[in-house]
């Protein structure tokens, strides 16, 4: 893209976006690419045609985060942007939740992020380079949702992890911020949204902008937080929800 505003130009930067073969992750990877960054994507399954810029790694495995960062730095030694987006939803009603589902949620949604950022920070601080991290949490990190106890807990943990990491990594000149998407149409949410149109209409009635979000609605926030335009911002969570969490009741039906 030509004639980028200088503060938003990511030319010369390299980024890794986890969970970026589809949905919000893919949209953010696209946005970073359009801003000029060299972007590595991450997934768990190969998709034809095989793309060398897509790194395959299971982040549920204990060594997954370290192996993913090792592969990413091998391709782009100048890697200085990390977007932690990989995560998923495994909940059932609370009284039916078992330890396996709970632990899977925490390993993927929280633990993998913790150790991805740790490995990333170690590598670039050793090289005395500056960097930026964006952690994708959710409005579920602030407000609870029915039959979503483990997921809500994990996203709330990411909110505090973002703030705590900003404090820990600030002296190393590594900024850490977060994005909290609201109701966004993605492959993860599309199934229940198709099955429960009344529920979707109910939520959209509360969204100030009157619609569920699209994955690309999260792209600009990610580019901003990675760019020089956000050079004096760290420890912040940017809510991308069309105003969903702004009002208590929302609009009344007409």
Q: Which H/E stretch holds residue 127?
A: none
Domain-embedded: residue 17:
yes
pLDDT value, residue 189: 84
Q: Where are the alpha helices (DSSP H) in the chain?
A: 23-34, 64-75, 99-106, 112-126, 149-169, 190-195, 197-206, 219-226
pLDDT value, residue 1: 45
Domain-embedded: residue 200:
no
pLDDT tens digits along 110-129: 999 999 999 999 999 999 99
pLDDT tens digits along 29-53: 999 999 999 999 999 976 555 677 8
Q: What is the rounded distance in angstroms from the CA atom of residue 192 to the CA atom of residue 196?
A: 6
| Sign (positive or negative) of CA dihedral 17, 183, 109, 239 | positive
CATH code: domain of residue 95: 3.40.50.720
Which residues are CB-neighbours of 221 under 8 A, at least 6 positions away? Answer: 179, 238, 240
User: Pairing state of beta strands 237-240 and 184-185?
Assistant: unpaired
- Which one of the listed residues 151, 154, 186, 212 is annotated catalytic? 151
Domain-embedded: residue 197:
no
Q: What is the rounded distance in angstroms from the CA atom of residue 6 to the CA atom of residue 25?
A: 24
pLDDT value, residue 62: 95
3 C-beta neighbours (distance < 10 Å), count: 5
Mean per-residue pLDDT for 242-252?
85
The gap between the terminal CA atoms of the chain, to the nearest Å, is 43
Domain that holds residue 142: 6-187+214-240
Domain-embedded: residue 192:
no
Domain-embedded: residue 16:
yes
Domain-embedded: residue 111:
yes
Inter-CA distances, 215 with 79, 106, 189, 195, Å? 24, 24, 11, 20
| Sign (positive or negative) of CA dihedral 181, 186, 187, 191 | positive
The partner residues of 214 in beta bridges, in order of sequence, read 185
How far does Cα 61 stand from its chain's mean position? 19
Q: The whole model's pTM is what? A: 0.94
Mean per-residue pLDDT for 59-70?
97
Mean per-residue pLDDT for 56-74?
97
Domain-embedded: residue 248:
no
Q: What is the rounded distance in angstroms from the CA atom of residue 39 to the CA atom of residue 72?
A: 10
How many domains is the chain partitioned into structurally? Answer: 1
Q: Which of 35-49, 196-210, 211-225 has the lowest average pLDDT?
A: 35-49
| Known catalytic membership, residue 151 | yes
Residue 30, token pair as written in the block: 């696209």
pLDDT tens digits along 145-190: 999 999 999 999 999 999 999 999 999 999 999 999 999 998 888 8
């Amino acid at each position: 893209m030509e004639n980028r505003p200088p503060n938003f130009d990511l030319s010369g930067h390299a980024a890794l976006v986890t969970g970026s073969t589809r949905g919000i992750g893919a949209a953010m990877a696209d946005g970073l690419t359009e801003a000029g960054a060299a972007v590595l994507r991450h997934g768990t399954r190969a998709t034809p045609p095989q793309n060398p810029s897509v790194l395959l790694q299971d982040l549920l495995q204990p060594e997954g985060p370290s192996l993913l960062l090792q592969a990413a730095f091998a391709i782009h030694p100048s890697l200085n942007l990390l977007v932690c987006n990989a995560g998923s939803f495994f909940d059932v009603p609370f009284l039916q939740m078992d330890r396996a589902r709970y632990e899977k949620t925490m390993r993927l949604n929280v633990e993998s992020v913790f150790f991805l950022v740790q490995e990333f920070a170690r590598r670039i601080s050793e090289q005395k380079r500056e960097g930026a991290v964006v952690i994708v949490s959710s409005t579920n990190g602030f407000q609870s949702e029915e039959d979503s106890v483990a997921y809500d807990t994990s996203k709330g943990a990411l909110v505090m992890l973002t703030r705590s990491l900003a404090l820990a990594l600030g002296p190393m000149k590594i900024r850490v911020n977060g994005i909290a998407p609201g109701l966004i149409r993605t492959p993860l949410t599309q199934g229940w949204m198709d099955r429960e149109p009344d529920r979707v209409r109910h939520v959209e009635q509360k969204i100030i902008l009157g619609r569920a979000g699209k994955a690309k609605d999260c792209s600009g926030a990610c580019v901003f937080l990675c760019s020089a335009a956000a050079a004096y911002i760290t420890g912040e969570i940017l809510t991308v929800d069309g105003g969903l969490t702004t009002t208590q009741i929302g609009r009344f039906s007409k």
